[in-house]
Amino acid sequence: MPDHHRVLMLRLAGPLQSWGGQSRFNRRETRPEPTKSGVLGLLAAAQGRSREDPPGDLLDLALGVRVDQAGTLLRDYHTVSDYRGRPLPQAAVNAKGVQKPTSPAKHTHVTQRYYLQDAVFVVGISGPADLVDALTAALRRPAYPLALGRRSCPPTQPIILGTRDEALNDALSEQPWQAGHAARREFQNRHNGRPPRIDLPVTIESSDGDDVVHDVPLSFSLRDRRFTSRRVAHSWVSAPTGFPEPDAPSDAGHDPFALLGW
């Protein structure tokens, strides 16, 4: 990798995440891992960019995603109604520009919204060192609140894992595993010990990738949202678990639930 390139490592975790899947009619889906549109939106918010500003230099950043904890899918049964008891308006407007009432009258609108719960991702963002450093500084003091795909999904700390001056694939391979305590305990129990490394799936942006995803934002404007495609490659990396060596002294103290396997 050229010496003027750098990789910003992020930990994207929170109770809920939702990453821009298809939104048709009353159904809003999520993809199983962060999208480039969602990650660039988070970076743009940190820098205080307007939705009307073109993504510009952010589009040249290469994205890599490692799934440290896949989480589970949550379906939210969501309803909307007018608190005054009035029929809901339809999308069409009259000659005065006022929304027409639904006919026949509709008092409740139902939507299905999908989220990832308890998921943890490690995201690598590769680009020019000066741009990566500026984004790192912005994430430490974000101009706007950060979100994991939707405003209702705030991230937990830490977000920034540091920067690395190496290839994106190498950075994702060497970043220690970021799964939560319960997942790490389950992994230990399943392997009857503390393996030093774990195999994790990764998706890395690559011009010769064998898959195509349509998640590159050309415009974030609410009135003119546009996207294009990019090529990605799916593979696996062996990452350090972060467990201490078997003969290393432990400072964890007494765990009263250890015998229960919790």
Measured distance between the N- and C-terminal CA atoms of the chain, rounded to whole angstroms: 43
Measured in residues, the chain has a length of: 262
Number of domains forming the structure of the chain: 1
The closest of 251, 136, 241 to 196, measured between CA atoms, is 241
Q: Does any domain span residue 51?
A: yes
Residue 223 has a pLDDT of 79
Over residues 224-246, the pLDDT tens digits come to 888 899 999 999 999 999 987 66
Note down the domain range covering 204. 5-77+106-242
Q: Is residue 86 situated within a structural domain? A: no
Taking only Cα atoms into account, the Rg of the chain, rounded to an integer number of angstroms, comes to: 22
Q: Does residue 261 fall inside a structural domain? A: no
This prediction's pTM? 0.83
Which tens digits make up the pLDDT trace of 22-54?
666 677 889 999 999 999 999 999 999 998 888
Strands 20-24 and 5-17: unpaired
Rounded (10°) angle between helices 129-140 and 36-47:
70
For residue 149, tell me if it sits in a domain.
Answer: yes
β-strand 89-93 against 99-101: which pairing, if any? antiparallel
Residue 114 φ then ψ, to 5°: -115, 140
Which CATH number fits the domain that encloses residue 163? 3.30.70.2660
Confidence grade of residue 4 (pLDDT, cut at 50, 70, 90) = confident
Q: Give yes or no for residue 251 having a pLDDT over 60.
A: no
In a domain, 82, yes or no: no
Q: What does the DSSP 8-state code read for residue 88?
A: P
pLDDT in tens, 193-226: 889 999 999 999 999 999 999 989 888 887 788 8
Q: Is 255 domain-assigned?
A: no
- Do β-strands 109-128 and 27-30 pair in parallel, antiparallel, or remain unpaired? parallel
Domain contains 120: yes
Tell me, yes or no, whether 123 lies in a domain: yes
